[in-house]
Every structure is written in C-alpha cells, then in structure tokens.
C-alpha cells in the first residue's frame, strides 16, 4: 500500500491556528473510516522532519496519520515563536486528536498517538486526561525526571544556570515582548539547547531543512527542565509500546516509565543511536513494523 499526497488541514488550539498534513493510504475505500494517529517529533522540530516520515510510512500501512506544527512552530501561528512548552504542546496534541475525530476519513473510536523523542512526554501528558487515546507508541522516547535532568544538564549548577537564564528571558519577554533565542543545535555556541556534532540537525540531507529555523527560546528552560513525564506513567491506562535502544537517549528513563505504566506495556529494544530512529534504516522500518503490530492489536482487537 502507498500513501497519497497529504491533505493540508487547519485547526484551532487555544487561539492559535495550527497547520498540519493528513496522510491517508492511497487505496482507501470512499466510505472507509480508518484508525487515526497523531504523529509528533522531537523538541524544536517542525512537521516536515521525523513526524512527516513516520506519518507517511504509517499511512502506507493503512492508517490515517496527522503530522502538524505545534503553536509557535513552523507554519502554525502563535507567539512566542519556537517556545518549548510541554504543557502547551500537550494541549495542542489534544486538539489535534479533536481534529482527527472530526475528519470523515477517520474513525473517532480508534484514535492513537505515535511520538518520537521528546514529544513522547507531551503525548503521555495528554493521555493522562484524554480517554479518547486508545493506544500509544513511543519511539526513542526522551523521558526524564529531576535526577536525570541533573545528570544530563551538568548537575545542580548546570540546571540552576539554565533556569536562571530562562527566567531572565521570560522577564524580558513580559516587559518588552522581545524573545531571547539560542541555537537549538550548535557545534560552536555552548549556550545552544544541544551542543555537539549532531548530524541529523546539521545535515541538509537529513533534518537541517529550510522549514526548521534551528532556534530555541531561552525562556523554555524552566518548564522543560521541570517537566517530569516519568511520574505520569501510573496514570496511563492505554496500551503502550516503547521502541528504544540502549545506545539512544535516556534509556533509563524509558525503562522506569515502562515499569510504572498502569496499563499494559510492551518494550522493543533494538540497536542504534537516538538519531537513527529519526530517519535511518533499519531503525525506521523496525519501529514502523512494531508500531503497526501494536496499533492493529490494540485498535482493531
């Protein structure tokens, strides 16, 4: 099965107009209502990056799949721009599911969410209060808590410095409307949200696409660093699949999240780095194969 070119869709989320691409299998019967997925990607990204890849691949497997730009990102409206707010993004996911439920191609009784990297936490956040979500797939999930934040961001001092910079940037924004930015990824600017030679984000043949501005609103740090998606696991009843690698980002967080799930949870460990799950084979196909099997079992069973 192949997927047709996506249909452009728009929907409102708390006053912002969000723009998405709805991918459908090309062989869909005219009156067929499909299991429908919201597909989201890593932090700072836009819909044309990993979320589009997974949405297209899952549409080829017979699902309706929506990739969209969160408020303040990509083509969507909303201010401030490129502000990484887990709570706002969770609410955008909620409203994206509402959009899917209203589409004539989609079955509102078979809604699910597929998330890559950081949006796994945002998706988990929404699922704790959204019983429409019947199934979850978390691919290379970035799931942290306070202890992991300290480990990942330079200990107590590194965390304090980032929070202080973010609070100062928020104060400046509230007073002047000006947003202080740092690069999302850089090999030369140590203030970047991610400092290092991360090829996915730096390579134009991969994620360094024109639609992605490679910037991070500095005032994002306090909420991002204080976000704890691991603690949400005991509130999640929807059947959940995690696909990860011991060599990818924060595997201990994924293990603990899986351990604490209230509902049924499966875990597939494969080889590869974090960025291999974004666009490289065989990781993408292995993740899509596992996602399809899980979604068929939990949505069609």
User: Is residue 173 within 8 Å of 83, Cβ to Cβ?
Assistant: no
Question: Residue 248 carries which DSSP code?
Answer: S
Res 1: pLDDT: 66
| Whole-number Cα distances in Å, 285 to 78, 123, 281 | 34, 22, 6
Q: Which residues of the chain have pLDDT under 70?
A: 1, 3-4, 301
User: What does CATH list as the number for 7-145+228-299?
Assistant: 3.40.50.1820
138 beta partners: 115, 242
pLDDT at 28: 80
pLDDT score for 301 = 64
pTM over the 0.85 mark: yes
Please report the pLDDT score of residue 300 as a whole number.
86
pLDDT at 29: 79
Q: Do 127 and 136 meet the contact criterion of CB atoms below 8 Å apart?
A: yes
166 neighbors 173 (Cβ within 8 angstroms): no
Q: What is the pLDDT of residue 27?
A: 81
User: For 239, how many CA atoms within 13 A lie in the half-sphere containing its CB?
Assistant: 15
Cα–Cα nearest to 136, from 249, 262, 273, 14: 262
Q: What is the pLDDT of residues 92-138, one digit of tens each?
A: 999 999 999 999 999 999 999 999 999 999 999 999 999 999 999 99
């Amino acid at each position: 099965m192949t997927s047709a070119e996506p249909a452009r869709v728009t929907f409102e989320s708390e006053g912002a107009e969000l723009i998405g691409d709805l991918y459908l299998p090309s062989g869909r019967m005219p009156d067929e209502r499909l299991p429908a997925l919201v597909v989201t990607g890593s932090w700072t990204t836009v819909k044309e990056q990993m979320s589009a890849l997974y949405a297209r691949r899952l549409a080829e497997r017979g699902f309706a799949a929506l990739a969209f730009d969160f408020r303040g990102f990509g083509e969507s409206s909303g201010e401030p721009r490129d502000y990484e707010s887990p709570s706002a993004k969770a609410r955008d996911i909620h409203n994206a599911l509402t959009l899917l439920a209203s589409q004539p191609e989609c079955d509102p009784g078979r809604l699910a969410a597929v998330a890559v990297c950081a949006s796994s936490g945002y998706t988990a956040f929404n699922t704790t209060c959204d019983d429409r979500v019947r199934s979850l797939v978390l691919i290379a999930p970035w799931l942290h808590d306070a202890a992991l934040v300290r480990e990942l961001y330079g200990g107590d001092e590194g965390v304090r410095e980032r929070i202080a910079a973010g609070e100062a940037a928020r104060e400046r924004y509230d007073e002047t409307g000006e947003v202080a930015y740092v690069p999302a990824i850089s090999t030369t600017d140590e203030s970047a949200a991610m400092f290092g030679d991360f090829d996915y984000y730096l390579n134009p043949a991969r994620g360094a696409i024109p639609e992605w501005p490679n910037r991070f609103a500095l005032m994002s740090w306090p909420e991002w660093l204080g976000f704890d998606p691991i603690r949400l696991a005991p509130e999640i009843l929807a059947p959940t699949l995690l696909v990860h690698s011991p060599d990818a980002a924060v595997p201990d967080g994924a293990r603990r999240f899986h351990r604490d799930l209230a509902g049924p949870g499966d875990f597939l460990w494969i080889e590869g780095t974090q960025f291999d799950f974004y666009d490289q084979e065989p990781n993408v196909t292995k993740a899509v194969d596992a996602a399809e099997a899980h979604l068929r079992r939990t949505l069609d069973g």
